[in-house]
Amino acid sequence: MSGTYHVLSYWDLVFASVFLLLNAVLSLALDLGLTRTLIISAIRMCVQLILVGLVLKAIFFSGSLLWTLVAAAVMSAFAGREIHARQNRRLKGVWGPGLGAGTMLLSAALVSAYALAALVRPVPVWEPQYALPLFGMVLGSTMTGVSLGLDTLHTALANGKPGVEAQLLLGRTRWQATRPFARQALRAGFTPIINSMAATGVVSMPGMMTGQILSGVDPQNAVKYQLLIMFLLGGATGLGVLGATFGSLWRLTDARHRLRLDRLGGGHS
């Protein structure tokens, strides 16, 4: 299989931003109020990616387990903050940032470690060129599912408090009374990855697969790696959403089968 591709310059990237800038101009003309947000988001993305590229180049060159773990920890911290920030109503105290970040990190680390040790098998197993991109993809998908699941659960419980308490008064256990809300939260958390799996290959060609094909990898091998990634994303997201949802339900009820919404804060002002 042969072929050549153009090495992108920064001017190419400037030209690629023309349509985004057009959207910003149209937003200004239509008074949508999105112009500032679009421009700031684009600038932030550029700065972040350029800095990440420089950092990753240094980490890849060093091949150090310590720096690989440090990079993974920084990624996890930012993802945990995003989970906390995306919830309209949050658990109070350390449970607020801790539950979502903990379940996300546990499921993402477990699935990534399994993939590296048993499936991809780089030498050494922590080879940052493989470990960090894989962990980042798994972490990002799990972050989205956990944040949606927790936000849906907390909002639904706050709105449905009278119904839950009525069920508890009728003798239902805390798990039985909150089951409809758990299902609603789990569906919300699972939906993005289910939609992604359903559309992959027919509606969209994922970034990893596209990148491999553009770099000259045989399409069949690219497909195998993409399937591997999607299976890992689905598994990690499911584990994270389940852990976060039932962990939050455990925190928002007690052993006497009472609803404890006093442990839930207001969220965004």
Q: Are residues 39 and 153 in the same domain?
A: no
Best CA proximity match to 174, nearest among 265, 261, 84: 261
In tens, the pLDDT along 222-253 reads: 888 889 999 999 999 999 999 999 999 999 99
126 and 100, same structural domain?
yes
pLDDT at 216: 73
Least reliable range by pLDDT among 104-108, 209-213, 216-220 = 209-213
Neighbours of 106 (CB within 10 A): 15
Looking at the structure, tell me whether residues 138 and 205 fall in a common domain.
yes
Do residues 113 and 38 share a domain? Answer: no
Mean pLDDT, range 29-35, rounded to an integer: 88
Q: Which domain holds residue 55?
A: 1-62
For 139, 142, 178, the CA distances from 127, given in Å and listed in that order, are 18, 22, 44
Task: Indicate if the pLDDT at residue 213 is higher than 50.
Answer: yes
Structure tokens at 137: 């993809």
Same domain, 32 and 112: no
pLDDT of res. 1 = 46
Residue among 50, 54, 108 nearest 78 (CA): 108
Domain contains 41: yes
**Distant-in-sequence, close-in-space partners of 183: CB < 8 Å, separation ≥ 6:** none
Over range 179-193, report the average pLDDT.
Answer: 96
The secondary structure of the chain in percent helix, strand, coil, rounded to multiples of 5, reads 75, 0, 20
Maximum CA extent, the chain: 71
Instruction: For residues 173 and 143, state if they share a domain.
Output: yes
* Residue 7 pLDDT: 74
Domains identified in the chain, total number: 2
Least confident of 7-21, 64-78, 81-95: 7-21
* Nearest CA-CA partner of 135 in 150, 120, 123: 120
The residues, any chain, with a CB within 8 Å of residue 164's CB and separated by 6 or more, are 157, 177, 178, 181, 259
Q: What is the pLDDT of residues 108-136, one digit of tens each?
A: 999 999 999 999 999 999 999 999 999 99
Domain shared by 57 and 80, yes or no:
no
Q: Are 74 and 93 found together in one domain?
A: yes
